[in-house]
Chains A and B, each alone.
Chain A
Amino acid sequence: MSHSDTPKIALVGNPNSGKSSLFNHLTGLNQKIGNFPGVTVDKKTGYCKLDDHTRAKIIDLPGTYSIYPNSTDEKIVYDILGNKADPLHPDVVVVIVDASNFKRNLLLFTQIHDLNIPCILVLNMMDIVEKTGLAIDADKLSSELGVPVIPMKARQGKGIDVLKRALLENLEQHFHPIFNAYELAPDAIDAVKKTFSVNDDYVAYQMLQQYRINSFLTENEKNLIIDITEKHQFNRDELRRKETLERYAAINHFIDGAVKETFTQLPKRWTQKLDRVFTHKIWGYLIFLFILFMIFQSIFAWATVPMDLIDLTFSELSVYLKSQLPEGALTGLLTEGIIPGIGGIVIFIPQIAILFAFISILEETGYMSRVVFLMDKIMRKFGLNGKSVVPLISGVACAIPAIMATRTIENWKERLITIFVTPLMSCSARLPVYTILIALIIPEKTIGGIFNLQGLALMGMYLLGFVAAIVSALIMRLILKTKERSFLVMELPTYKMPRWKNVGLTMYEKSKTFVFEAGKIILAISIVLWVLASYGPGNKLENAEEIIAQTYSQENLSQEEFKNKIESFKLENSYAGIFGKAIEPVIMPLGYDWKIGIALITSFAAREVFVGTMATIYSIGNVEDESTIKNRMRNEVNPETGKKRYDFATGLSLLVFYAFAMQCMSTMAIVFRETNGWKWPLLQLFYMTGLAYVSALIIYQTLS
């Protein structure tokens, strides 16, 4: 291959064809997740060493059944492959097909082949093919199709080396289109080829078919194409129907020569048996509920130990550094701002890793599409789609990938409702807030021998978020009107064992993305907060000791009490204290004081800042004391009542506030991008925060 020093190779295939396994095998940890320019479709790229001299850039394109997209992220496939001007337009396309489901998978191959890009066909799942008694003659198929055909078992990594060698060879193929588009619409194709100086018939034909989604065409050029289609009576749907039928006829011809079907029935006994249980009237739903329950219990059971450990490590590190370093502003910033700030990021890793592990296992095994199947009828009643279940479940990890996952929903109204209600699902950023508040107000008891009461309370919080999401969807369904139809034509893949390597990579990638993306914000806010909490206007802070001594000169304060008075006086008169005090009248009815007010303000950028803020607020001037954030909050006293600050009423009101409020700038940014405007993110902000305020108000006023 001599196209360039770093050839670009695109991976294309149907969903469930093993494309991501192949991508992981080729690139390993050497991959990057970004966005395709202008759209928020996940762009996975990576590098692969083909031999000692050649490094190739691998681009993983979204899984699709056809070059005609059904959903937003499938559009990317046509846009990149159909436009030679696209910077990601590949030198070679590797089309991976599930060989055990050969016919349907080959349709996409024939379409891409006709775009006249050098192709390699990978026949994946050869292990299943061998077991079923299907025999595929790869050499014969290769000579019929005119492209290299490589049998592969991507799960085991077999065939990867052969593919690498094939990629190094010169792929100057003798091109002969499988589907002759020119015969069907000669005049229109000639007109496009002339106007846009395009060489290939099928590329021109695709421009006529899909000019609307072609991002390389200007409005003017689109109008030119419309003129051509009208002039030459290019009937898009009719031609597309003919095209599909001709392609399948061609595929049947290829299969006749190269594939021997000696079996009578596909060996999907396991899938059949499992489906009988997983989609059973009663068992189906019970198992689904049980899996959800398991996820929450294990997050609580497995993540708390490493989390407490991280918490303790960072607070001890602060104490140690404070005792070793000379006193001063820089030491203060380090031990009271930066270290608790970093701790507030690292503490999330166990939960995020566990959550994404579960979600990735559900998707890998094929169970997720059964959930869609089970829930579709119920979800439709709420204006959603069975496919909304996937974003809603992913929303438990993070609303950002969840909102991106709504792109599989073809119907715009259903998709919009899903986007709107998904942030109400309790994401992992709320988890530390929940964990710490539940630990403060719910006793650590086991009921019925197995159920951890705190774990149940946590599940209750998730249920609350789900109910809020569902009810909000119902309201929106009644408000929004649309005539667009909704579809659920969806493959139910066979059950498979999860590929643990893929699960591990997902855990690693998501945790890494979180630490570096969210981490930046959290760290910055922690530092700003430390400055705001350590400095104030005028010279009140420097003279704190004198002022306190004067104020309390009549009373007999112990050393300890005196010191505490000074610290709280300092915080109260710092900039942060002043901001907190300013919003105190608004949040007082919810049971919050100005310290919680500070946390609320900082949380509006990202709610995960809550714990870090609490850590910073309660550690200002207080690091000597070794206790963790949790204990500091437990010991916090409401000066007016003399009782605990975090009593049941305040704790519950705070829990509900964090469950409902829109406190995530990144979510708003993604909703802005997905809905092309500020209308929906702003509506979301006001709706969710209003709901949070009213609910917290009702709870605190009833309970206190």
Chain B
Amino acid sequence: MNLRSVADLTPGESGIINGFMDDTLSLKLLEMGCLPGQPIKFNFAAPLGDPICVSVAGYNLSLRLDEAITISIQ
């Protein structure tokens, strides 16, 4: 379990953002407050399992699973 991503979290579980695996997307995620070292919490998934709702930097953000998988966590 070296490389876990936000997509591996279970509802209610938190992790600390480690880095990004997608350069283009990371620019946007950084500006939205997803900073390395910040806690990120998986809140719940949409009824069909995708997208998901996470808490980061004090607010709620929706991410698709293929976006969540690019955020690696410790």
Q: Which residues of A contact B (CB under 8 A)?
A: 65-66, 68, 70, 100-104, 107, 237, 240-241, 244-245, 248, 266, 268, 271-272, 275-276, 279-282, 284-285, 369, 372-374, 376-378, 386, 485, 487-494
Does the CB pair A373–B27 fall under 8 Å? no
Does the CB pair A490–B67 fall under 8 Å? no
* B9 contacts A by Cβ under 8 Å: no
Does the CB pair B67–A489 fall under 8 Å? yes
A contacts with B: majority SS: helix
- Say which residue of B23, B59, B67 sits within 8 Å of A488 (CB atoms): B67
State the 5 A-B residue pairs at the shortest beta-carbon distance, nearest first. A104-B33, A492-B60, A281-B47, A66-B31, A377-B48
How distant is B72 from chain A, measured CB to nearest CB, in Å?
Answer: 16
- Say which residue of B24, B31, B46, B50 sits within 8 Å of A65 (CB atoms): B31
How many angstroms from the CA of A213 to the CA of B43 in the assembled complex?
37
Q: Which of B1-59 contact A (CB under 8 A)?
A: 23-33, 35, 43-44, 46-51, 53, 57-59
Does the CB pair A237–B23 fall under 8 Å? yes
Q: From B33, which residue of chain A is reached at the shortest CB distance?
A: A104
How many angstroms from the CA of A102 to the CA of B58 in the assembled complex?
9
Question: Counting chain B CB atoms within 10 Å of each CB, which of A248, A271, A369, A494 scores highest?
Answer: A248
Does the CB pair A240–B28 fall under 8 Å? no
For A272, the chain B residues whose CB sits under 8 A away are: 43
11 extra A-B contacts, CB within 8 A, seeds A275-B44, A279-B44, A489-B25:
A66-B31, A68-B31, A101-B58, A104-B57, A275-B53, A282-B47, A377-B49, A386-B51, A489-B29, A489-B32, A493-B59
Does the CB pair B62–A373 fall under 8 Å? yes
Does the CB pair B58–A107 fall under 8 Å? no
30 A-B contact pairs sorted by A residue (CB < 8 Å): A66-B31, A103-B58, A104-B32, A237-B23, A237-B24, A241-B27, A244-B30, A245-B30, A248-B33, A248-B35, A266-B58, A268-B60, A272-B43, A280-B47, A285-B47, A376-B46, A376-B62, A377-B46, A386-B51, A487-B28, A488-B62, A488-B67, A489-B29, A490-B62, A491-B59, A491-B60, A491-B62, A492-B53, A492-B60, A492-B62
How distant is B9 from chain A, measured CB to nearest CB, in Å?
Answer: 17
- Say which residue of A68, A100, A266, A374 sits within 8 Å of B27 (CB atoms): A68
Question: Chain B: how many interface residues by the 8 Å CB criterion?
Answer: 30
Question: Counting chain A CB atoms within 10 Å of each CB, which of B28, B47, B49, B63 scores highest?
Answer: B47
How many angstroms from the CA of A271 to the CA of B59 in the assembled complex?
11
For A378, the chain B residues whose CB sits under 8 A away are: 48
For A373, the chain B residues whose CB sits under 8 A away are: 46, 51, 53, 62
For B59, the chain A residues whose CB sits under 8 A away are: 101, 104, 491-494
Q: Which residues of B contact A (CB under 8 A)?
A: 23-33, 35, 43-44, 46-51, 53, 57-64, 67
How many angstroms from the CA of A377 to the CA of B44 in the assembled complex?
15
Taking A103-B57, A266-B58, A489-B61 as contacts, is the C-beta distance between A377 and B32 under 8 angstroms?
no
- Say which residue of B26, B46, B67 sits within 8 Å of A279 (CB atoms): B46
How many angstroms from the CA of A285 to the CA of B24 in the assembled complex?
33
For A493, the chain B residues whose CB sits under 8 A away are: 59-60
How many angstroms from the CA of A245 to the CA of B34 in the assembled complex?
10
Q: From A67, which residue of chain B is reached at the shortest CB distance?
A: B31
For B31, the chain A residues whose CB sits under 8 A away are: 65-66, 68, 107, 244
Does the CB pair A377–B57 fall under 8 Å? no
How many angstroms from the CA of A241 to the CA of B25 in the assembled complex?
11
For B48, the chain A residues whose CB sits under 8 A away are: 377-378
Q: From A374, which residue of chain B is reached at the shortest CB distance?
A: B46
How many angstroms from the CA of A107 to the CA of B29 in the assembled complex?
13
For A103, the chain B residues whose CB sits under 8 A away are: 33, 57-58
How many angstroms from the CA of A487 to the CA of B64 in the assembled complex?
8
Does the CB pair A65–B32 fall under 8 Å? yes
For A494, the chain B residues whose CB sits under 8 A away are: 59-60
How many angstroms from the CA of A377 to the CA of B64 in the assembled complex?
9
For B67, the chain A residues whose CB sits under 8 A away are: 487-489
For A284, the chain B residues whose CB sits under 8 A away are: 47
Q: From B25, which residue of chain A is reached at the shortest CB distance?
A: A487
Does the CB pair A237–B27 fall under 8 Å? yes
How many angstroms from the CA of A518 to the CA of B43 in the assembled complex?
46
- Say which residue of A70, A280, A492 sits within 8 Å of B28 (CB atoms): A70
How many angstroms from the CA of A607 to the CA of B35 in the assembled complex?
51
How distant is A93 from chain B, measured CB to nearest CB, in Å?
Answer: 19
Does the CB pair A489–B63 fall under 8 Å? yes
For B53, the chain A residues whose CB sits under 8 A away are: 275, 279, 373, 492
Q: From B59, which residue of chain A is reached at the shortest CB distance?
A: A101
How distant is B56 from chain A, measured CB to nearest CB, in Å?
Answer: 9
Q: From B36, which residue of chain A is reached at the shortest CB distance?
A: A245
Does the CB pair A488–B64 fall under 8 Å? yes
Does the CB pair B23–A376 fall under 8 Å? no
Taking A377-B51, A492-B61 as contacts, is the C-beta distance between A240 and B46 under 8 angstroms?
no
For A100, the chain B residues whose CB sits under 8 A away are: 58
Q: From B60, which residue of chain A is reached at the shortest CB distance?
A: A492
For A386, the chain B residues whose CB sits under 8 A away are: 51
For A485, the chain B residues whose CB sits under 8 A away are: 24
Q: From B20, which residue of chain A is reached at the shortest CB distance?
A: A241
For A492, the chain B residues whose CB sits under 8 A away are: 53, 59-62
How many angstroms from the CA of A492 to the CA of B56 in the assembled complex?
11
- Say which residue of A68, A104, A285, A376 sits within 8 Å of B64 (CB atoms): A376
Does the CB pair A279–B47 fall under 8 Å? yes
How many angstroms from the CA of A65 to the CA of B34 in the assembled complex?
13
How many angstroms from the CA of A376 to the CA of B44 in the assembled complex?
15
How distant is B58 from chain A, measured CB to nearest CB, in Å?
Answer: 5
For A369, the chain B residues whose CB sits under 8 A away are: 62
